[in-house]
């Protein structure tokens, strides 16, 4: 996909990515188990995905599980994987009905075989959608770049263009806006290459509290930014 103009409501942004952070703190503040924070995090995902089509956003990319998240305690990793299974089961039909096209980025084929199977089925069933939901699973930006560079080298020259053509995101629009919730100000190995010219926004809202209004506010803020891509006016 080339550079487009987006829509009035997105102020020209076509691709927004979010680091969904703060589920644990959301639960802790309420004296609840972390698992409940993650569950409420899934509800925030669902609310946002429902808003993507009416907003006419071309692509929303969500960081659901990083390649470093395996370091978390086993029961928390299990909780996150089970939430993934449940989410696909419960929401796939709605994705299809709402023209959401699922994409997965990261090393997702090495997840549990049943999840891989469910994802393959979901990719197939949503392949005709018009708005893309890209989910980063077992994703790390550095390893994505290393994999892409290896493939580029196998085909000949390594240049920014040949690497970019091999990234997991090669069929997604250029990244316009990257949001991280919960007040942390770092990229945590997410979309390192793609963030080169993206606008960044760090908001204090904890992920389970994030609503489509917050996304709209971020897009309104994006509209005020002047993007120069290294040039000057
Ligand atoms: C960060 O919260 C969030 C994650 C590690 C995973 C994000 C996952 C979800 C929102 C649920 C699963 C998603 C789908 C699409 C089914 P944290 O635990 O790091 O919070 P903390 O920093 O407050 O401890």
CB 144, CB 168: distance < 8 Å: yes
Q: Residue 181 Cα, ligand 1 centroid: separation in angstroms?
A: 11
| Confidence bin at 6 (pLDDT 50/70/90) | low
- Statement: residue 3 has pLDDT above 80: no
Quote the strand ranges of the chain, DSSP E. 15-19, 59-66, 100-105, 131-139, 177-180, 199-202
This prediction's pTM: 0.95
Q: Residue 4 Cα, ligand 1 centroid: separation in angstroms?
A: 31
Ligand 1 atom nearest to 25, measured from its CA: 23
**Ligand 1 — pocket residues by CB below 6 A?**
20-25, 38, 41-42, 45, 64, 69, 80, 83-84, 87, 135, 182, 207
CB 15, CB 224: distance < 8 Å: no
- Statement: residue 1 has pLDDT above 50: no
- Statement: residue 131 has pLDDT above 60: yes
User: For the structural domain made of 15-223, what CATH number should be given?
Assistant: 3.40.1180.10
């Amino acid at each position: 996909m080339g550079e487009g103009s987006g829509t009035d409501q997105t102020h020209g942004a076509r691709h927004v990515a979010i680091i969904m952070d703060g589920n644990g703190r959301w639960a802790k503040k309420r004296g609840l188990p972390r698992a409940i924070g993650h569950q409420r995090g899934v509800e925030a995902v669902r609310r946002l995905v429902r808003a993507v089509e009416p907003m006419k956003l071309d692509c929303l990319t969500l960081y659901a599980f990083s390649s470093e998240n395996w370091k978390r305690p086993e029961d928390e990793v299990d909780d996150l994987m089970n939430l993934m299974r449940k989410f696909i089961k419960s929401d796939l039909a709605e994705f299809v009905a709402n023209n959401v096209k699922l994409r997965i980025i990261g090393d997702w084929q090495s997840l549990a075989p049943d999840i891989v199977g469910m994802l393959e089925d979901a990719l197939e069933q949503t392949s005709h959608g018009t708005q893309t939901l890209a989910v980063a699973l077992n994703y790390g930006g550095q390893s994505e770049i290393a994999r892409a560079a290896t493939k580029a080298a196998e085909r000949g020259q390594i240049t920014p263009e040949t690497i970019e053509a091999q990234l997991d995101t090669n069929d997604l629009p250029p990244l316009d806006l990257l949001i991280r919730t919960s007040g942390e100000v770092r990229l945590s190995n997410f979309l390192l290459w793609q963030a080169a010219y993206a606008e960044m926004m760090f908001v204090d809202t904890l992920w389970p509290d994030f609503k489509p209004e917050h996304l709209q506010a971020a897009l309104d803020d994006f509209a005020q930014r002047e993007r120069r891509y290294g040039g000057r006016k």
